[in-house]
Amino acid sequence: MVSRTQRTPFAEWWWTVDRLTLAAIGALMLAGIILLLAASPPVATKLGLDPFHFVNRQILYLVPAIAIMLGASFLSPRQIRRLALAVFVISTLLLAATLFVGTEIKGARRWIVLLGVNIQPSEFVKPAFVILIAWLFAESSRRPEMPANTVALFLLGLVGSLLILQPDFGQTMLIAMVWGALFFIAGMRVIWVVGLGGAAIVGLTGAYFTVPHVARRFKRFFDPSSGDTFQIDNAVESFLRGGWFGKGPGEGVVKRILPDSHADFIFAVAAEEFGIVLCIVIVALFSFIVIRTLSRAFHNEDAFARFAAAGLAVLFGAQSAINMAVNLHLIPAKGMTLPFISYGGSSLLSLAYGMGMLLALTRERPRAEQLQSRGHFHPAGSLA
Amino acid sequence: MTAVPHDKAPADKGGLLARLLYGRGVDRDAKAKARVGLAILAFGLIYAVIAGRLVMYGVSSDGPSAKRGSGGDVVATARPDILDRNGAVLATDVRMPSLFGEPRRIIDVDEAVELLTATLPDIDGRELRERLSSNKGFVWLKREITPLQQQQIHKLGLPGIGFLAENKRVYPNGPEVSHVIGHVNIDNQGIAGLEKWLDSRGLADLHSLGFAIDRQQKPVELAVDLRVQHVLRAELVAAKDKFKAIAASGLVTDVRTGEIVGMVSLPDYDPNDPRQALDKTRLNRLTTGVFEMGSTFKALTVAMALDSGKVSLSSSFDARQSLRYGKFDINDYHAQKRILTVPEIFTYSSNIGTARMALALGVEHHKAFLKKMGQLDRLRTEIPESAEPLVPKRWAELNTVTIAFGHGLSVAPLQAVMGVGALMNGGKLIPPTFLKRTQAEADAIAKQVIKPETSDRMRYLMRLNAEKGSARKVDIPGYYVGGKTGTAEKVVNGRYSKTKLLTTFMAVFPADQPKYLVTILLDEPQPIPETKGYATSGWNAAPTAANVITRVAPLLGVEPRFDLPTADKQILAVTAGIR
């Protein structure tokens, strides 16, 4: 047991970090491994790989991921900002680079080979982007002379256009949503909320009419007979077949026919083998992490920490909610992975980084330290 | 908060953009806090919807409708098995694949038609193309294909072509029990016999609600004994063949409970190929046909006379000359030209004697008695096939005269069997049933229609007839059989024909402790050398009944008893002693 009397850095971390959220994240990681054990072997065999290829890789990635998460959770808000700026600059450059040197997979250039490892820069952009936007909105309220809002809008445009060029509409939508959520939390007037909502509708309508596959997906959602609903039919069947307690590990059959059973549709595959009860437990874990983080942000008095923690929570929550809603046929199909559960090295590392920062930002800190980080005693600026 | 007063009104200091975005004079800190609270609510709501959807799937996966909806499952709904009284399967369900198409998903209709016609040569290519070219979501292509064909088509890998497992009704005994169980249509709905009764009993409602897909339905147990049924059918096939009859039918009934242990009506059909049932000649003559039963009906007349108390076994009637009634002349086939006692009238099957007996009691009494015996109303059993008896509109004395010896009133043979059964079993009229029935259930619905003593006397007469009369051919040693022959002339062009006969025979065994009644009907049997040119009941229907009894009595567990005394001692004396 860690003693409260000795003020080592670890003891200080242990007693201030949100241990329940940490436990929930750990549970999700574990669930991810178990569900991959069920869902990924058919995909691996189809690709001619070792049946447990994806499981082994996921476990391999978990080691650095846990290190990154714990490391990030030790950071102070100032360190978080500095690191985020660095990560943002590097990954945005890589994002731009994918357009020229990226490997094209399924019609999109999202991947770049760096030191022999395939990485997806868009994953790393997300958490860093959230931190920067949160800082900008926090500054805009504190130091109005800085053009913070303009810069935030510019960053959205920059990242958004890079993502659309790949093309990756899912991620674009996600960062736009988080940006909007932060803007909303930062206290924008209701008229702008309406305006932003309108812009989102215009954007979706635009996508509907200009991008053929978006239109098809919408049509299919509202009229399943209009096209191929193979994936979603099988996902729904998976839930029905599984029932409350599932058919048992290895007893599933839908995973053999669903192409993305280890990634986008892992939730449905899990339902067939482990049952709806386990799915509800997973939903509970996600909602616990999101709502607990938001409530900590609610009580936090530091504007930056509040915005950043809320932004990361919204990012995490939106991604999980969209994935599960697609699996459950609640919204039209949209490629989105389930955080910590779906297979994906880049996604795992980026999530670890994001959740590490989330843990750091929700740590209980003395009020004096908070005020300090507010910059009240350091008028020169926190980012310096 | 008070330490940072400039936070209170940030917009005042901010530029135009900030004021536009956030409004003037707003506490953005408090506002932000409230909006984080809103975000908490929003996420709580979103996750609740997701969890709710999961619960919805969980609940519907429990229901049977979801089980059916999840692909590759049964369309035609399941039916309960039908078993005979010993548990042998008479009808059961087998899962068969059926081929369907989803025209909207088909990519190349020409390819699909070409490959499917190559695999299923008996399919109509033009109709197939029409169906696949339609804009429907779902079309049947061929119902109930073989597993081999399914595999071949599966290997073609055609998009938009699929299989659904359907329940196909199978009758493992072929035509053996056809008229009893009936058959089903392609959607597994009962359309004849007991299969239809199953549907009318509520199975159809279960189907429409989607509850009858479970294979765990309770099987239906029939009164029919498959072994008895087999013997009865084999003997009737042989008899129909031997006497070149156009039809032959028979019944084995348990007189104690009204159970129908065997029922065959030839020509019959194979319920596995229901098209045969459309042939009019294959209808069930025992329930759907009505016939003038001939002399077997005399049993009812004699019973009526004895039961009235006005006539006893020692009463006698004048049969010296033919009975002239208007322009009709009633004669006896075995004319004795003397005064006959009641047992003589029965064993010589005297038309004149029975007619005089009925006249002695009067038209109204006769009519009321037949009504009581269930001969004037439509007899309804579990199976939907039944017929209304043909009752004369004006019932005058002449009608009573002819009906007394079995002409002028057409009833379904099963109806007559019910009536004669009541004469045998101690006087209780029990509606016949195709389902298993216990003695207690039978007693609960039985109606006492004649006195038990009358029933004893009737069995004495039946036995006497086998000992000395026209039914000598059924006196099988050991079973103490009693019987009554009947030969009715069929009406051809409005006149009774001398050559077209309907011969009937009813035999009860053992006559002293009645258990079973065997009834045989032959339609237009022909005289053959073996019968010395005769075609009457004693020469064809009676020997057939004898063959049936010889074979079924051991199966039905009737113990043979040998060296029993004659009927007057075994039946009359014993029962008179008891009563």
Q: Kindly state the average pLDDT of the residues A101-116.
A: 70
Residues A273 and A42: their CA atoms lie apart, in Å, by 14
Cβ-Cβ contacts under 8 Å, B39 against chain A: 181, 184-185, 294, 310, 313-314
In angstroms, the CA B487 to CA B407 distance is 10
Q: What ranges make up the beta strands (E) of B359-415?
A: 410-411
- Tell me the angle at which helices B109-119 and B147-156 cross, rounded to the nearest 10 degrees: 150
Percent of chain A past pLDDT 70, that is, above it, reads: 88
Amino acid at B482: G
DSSP SS3 for B6:
helix
pLDDT band of A283, cuts 50, 70, 90: very high
pLDDT of residue B205: 60
pLDDT in tens, B420-447: 999 999 999 999 999 999 999 999 999 9
B191, A367, B386: which is closest to B199 by C-alpha? B191
A270 touches chain B (CB under 8 A): no
Q: Return the minimum-mean-pLDDT range out of A176-180, B187-191, B306-310.
A: B187-191
Q: Are B61 and A244 within 8 A, CB to CB? A: yes
> Which tens digits make up the pLDDT trace of A205-233?
887 777 777 777 777 776 665 555 667 77
Express each pLDDT in B93-105 by its tens digit: 888 888 888 887 7
Q: Between A and B, how many residue pairs show a Cβ–Cβ distance under 8 A?
A: 142
A-contacting residues in B 393-432 (Cβ below 8 Å) = none
A383: how many CB neighbours lie within 10 A of its CB? 12
**Chain A residues close to B44, C-beta within 8 Å:** 287, 291
Q: Is the pLDDT of residue A346 over 90?
A: no
Give residue B62's pLDDT. 61
Strand B139-142 relative to strand A117-119, pairing: unpaired
- Determine the pLDDT at residue B4: 40
Q: Is B218 helix (H, G, I), strand (E, B) or coil?
A: coil
Cα–Cα distance, A234 to A246 (Å, whole number): 15
**Whether residue B69 has pLDDT greater than 60:** no
The chain B residue lying nearest A239, using CA atoms, is: B57
* pLDDT value of residue B321: 84
Nearest CA among B430, B433, B432 for reference residue B447: B430
pLDDT of residue B6 exceeding 70, the answer is: no
Measured between CB atoms, does A280 come within 8 Å of chain B?
A: yes
* pLDDT at residue B58, rounded to an integer: 84
pLDDT digits (tens, 9 = 90+) for B104-140: 778 888 888 888 888 888 888 888 888 888 877 788 8
Q: Is the peptide bond before B10 cis (omega within 30 degrees of 0)?
A: no
pLDDT(B577) > 60: no
Strands B139-142 and B82-83: what pairing?
A: unpaired
Question: Quick one: three-class SS letters along B494-550?
Answer: CEEEEEEEEEEEEEEECCCCCCEEEEEEEECCCCCHHHCCCCCHHHCHHHHHHHHHH
CA–CA gap between residue B487 and residue B332 (Å, rounded): 12
Are residues B305 and B361 in contact, defined by beta-carbon separation less than 8 angstroms? yes
- Which residues, in sequence order, are CB contacts of A381 under 8 Å at separation 6+? A375
- Of B36, B44, B47, Cβ closest to residue A310: B36
A303 Cβ under 8 Å from any chain B Cβ? yes
- Calculate mean pLDDT across residues B294-302: 89
Reported residue count of chain A is: 384
Find tokens 């939508």 and name the residue.
A173
Q: Give the DSSP per-residue string, A190-256.
A: HHHHHHHHHHHHHHHHHHHHH-HHHHHHHHHHH-GGGS--HHHHHHHHHHHHHTTT-S-TT--SGGG
Residue in B closest to A320 by C-alpha: B47
pLDDT at B210 exceeding the cut of 60? no
pLDDT of residue A229: 63
How far apart, in whole angstroms, are the C-alpha atoms of residue B413 and residue B428? 18
CB B103 within 8 A of CB B133: yes
Local structure of B161: helix, strand or coil: strand
Residue B562, helix vs strand vs coil: coil
Mean pLDDT of B142-159: 87
Whether the CB of B106 is below 8 Å from some CB of chain A: the reply is no
| Helices B351-361 + B298-308 axis angle, to 10 | 40
User: What distance in Å separates residue A168's CA from the closest CA in chain B?
Assistant: 24
Query: In B135-259, which ranges are E strands?
Result: 139-142, 161-170, 220-221, 247-254
How far is residue B186's CA from residue B521's CA, in Å, rounded to a whole number?
Answer: 34
- Residue A384 pLDDT more than 70? no
Phi, psi of B257 (to 5 degrees): -125, -10
d(CA A269, CA A1): 39
Q: How confident is the model at residue B12 (pLDDT cuts 50, 70, 90)?
A: very low
Instruction: State how far residue B10 is from chain A, nearest Cα, in angstroms.
Output: 6
Query: What does the domain layout of chain B look like in residue ranges?
Result: 71-221, 227-271+278-574
Residues 342-381 of B with CB under 8 A from A: none
Contact present, A355 and A316 (Cβ < 8 Å):
yes
d(CA A134, CA B511): 105
* Residue B63: other Cβ atoms inside 10 A: 13
The mean pLDDT value of chain B amounts to: 84
Q: Tell me: the pLDDT tens digits for A117-128? A: 777 888 889 999
Proportion of chain A above pLDDT 90, given as a percent: 23
Q: What is the pLDDT of residues A233-274, one digit of tens each?
A: 778 888 888 888 888 777 777 777 777 777 788 888 888 888
Q: Is B18 on the interface with A (CB under 8 A)?
A: yes
Determine the pLDDT at residue B2: 38
- As its CATH architecture, domain B71-221 has Alpha-Beta Complex (3.90)
The percent of residues above 90 in pLDDT, for chain B, comes to: 33
Q: Are B296 and B486 in contact (CB under 8 A)?
A: yes
Determine contact: A103 vs chain B, CB below 8 A. no
B495 — pLDDT class (breaks 50, 70, 90): confident
Give residues 127 to 186 of B whose Cβ lies within 8 Å of A: 137
What b-and-e string marks burial along B237-263, b requiring 16 or more CB atoms within 10 Å of the CB? eebbebbebebbbbbbbbbbbbbbbbb
A127 touches chain B (CB under 8 A): no
Determine, for residues A310 and B57 on separate chains, whether the beta-carbon distance falls below 8 Å: no
Within 10 Å of residue A330's Cβ, how many Cβ atoms?
16
The pLDDT value recorded for residue A245 is 84
B275 CA: distance to closest CA in chain A (Å): 37
| Residue in B23, B60, B62 closest to A189 by CB | B23
Domain boundaries, chain A: 18-375
| pLDDT, tens digit, 9 for 90 and up, residues B463-481 | 999 988 888 888 888 899 9
* Of B85, B81, B136, B77, the residue nearest B109 (C-alpha): B136
Cα B417 from Cα B249, distance rounded (Å): 13
Which CATH number is associated with domain B227-271+278-574? 3.40.710.10
Separation CA A189–CA B28 (nearest Å) = 10
CB A348 within 8 A of CB A65: yes
Contact of B53 with chain A, judged by CB distance below 8 Å, is answered with yes
Q: Is the peptide bond before B172 cis (omega within 30 degrees of 0)?
A: no
Q: In this predicted structure, what is the pLDDT of residue B160?
A: 84
CB contact residues (below 8 A), chain B span 69-98, against chain A: 69-71
Over B31-77, what HEC string results?
HHHHHHHHHHHHHHHHHHHHHHHHHHHHHHHHCHHHHHHCCCCCCCC
Split at pLDDT 50, 70, 90, the class of B9 is: very low
Q: List C-alpha distances in Å: B439 to A168, B257, B389.
A: 80, 6, 29
DSSP 8-state assignment for residue B551: H
Question: Residue A10: is it exposed, middle or buried by C-beta count within 10 angstroms (0-12/13-18/19+)?
Answer: exposed
- What was the pLDDT predicted at B8? 40
In 3D space, the residue among B293, B427, B444, B291 whose CA is nearest the CA of residue B369 turns out to be B427
CB B294, CB B487: distance < 8 Å = yes
Crossing angle of helices A345-361 and A19-46, rounded to 10°: 180
Q: First CA to last CA across chain B, in angstroms?
A: 116
pTM metric for this prediction: 0.56
B104 contacts on A by Cβ (under 8 Å): 225
> What's the gap between Cα A267 and its chain centre?
16
Question: Does A331 touch chain B if contact means CB atoms closer than 8 Å?
Answer: no
Please indicate whether residue B483 or residue B190 has the higher confidence score (pLDDT): B483
- Supply the residues of B annotated as catalytic: 295
Residue of higher predicted confidence among A380 and B378:
B378
Cβ contacts (< 8 Å) between B33 and chain A: which residues?
Answer: 298, 306
- Residue B175, beta-bridge partner list: none
What SS3 state is found at B429? strand
Distance (Å) from the C-alpha of residue B138 to the closest C-alpha of chain A?
Answer: 10
Distance from CA of B206 to the nearest CA of A (A): 22
Task: Give the burial string for A101-119 (b: 16+ CB within 10 Å, else e).
Answer: ebeeeeebbbbbeeeeeeb
Separation in Å, CA A60 to CA A34, A343, B213:
14, 12, 49
Alpha helices in chain A (DSSP H): 9-16, 19-46, 53-73, 77-101, 121-142, 148-165, 169-185, 190-210, 212-222, 230-242, 266-299, 303-327, 345-361, 367-373
